[in-house]
Homo-oligomer: A and B are copies of this chain.
Amino acid sequence: MSKTMSKVDRAAVFAALGEPIRLQLLDQLGERRSISQLAKDLPISRQAVTQHLRVLERSRLIESHRSGRETHFVARPDRLVEAKSWLDDVTQQWDNTLARLKRFAEEK
């Protein structure tokens, strides 16, 4: 069963995932990293990276912690699990519909 995440919430999560650069960021956020550290591998400015990180943070896919002059980010697996949960629901629903249509056709 899926969590009670509103359709708007879910859309926000998927929208956050809808950018190659952000996917690349998530790939690296298994372990905590600073902004400049992340920006080094990317073809855009540090400030652009910051904005992408903010998008991910707004949708709560990552979280940040300041320590000294550095801000570290790390992934929040629980939100990805929620997104997966919804995908499961929809595919399940499609399967059910398909099965129902099939049964109906066979009853003829």
Interface residues of A, Cβ cutoff 8 Å to B = 7-8, 10-12, 14-20, 22-24, 26-27, 29-31, 75, 77, 80-81, 83-84, 87-88, 90-91, 93-98, 101
Q: How far apart sit A80 and B89, CA to CA, in the bound complex (Å)?
A: 11
Contacts of A94 in B (CB 8 A): 29-30, 75, 77
* Shortest distance between the CB of A55 and any CB in chain B (Å): 11
Contact (Cβ within 8 A) A93 B8? no
The residue in A26, A93, A94, A97 that gathers the most chain B C-beta atoms within 10 A of its C-beta is A94
A96: chain B residues within 8 A (beta carbon): 30
A26→B97 contact, CB < 8 A: no
Contact A11 B19 (CB under 8 A): yes
Q: Nearest chain B CB to A42's CB is how many angstroms away?
A: 13
Assess the B90–A87 pair: CB atoms within 8 A.
Answer: no
A95/B77 contact (C-beta < 8 A), A11-B18, A15-B18, A26-B90 known = yes
Residues of chain B within 8 A of A97, CB atoms compared? 30-31
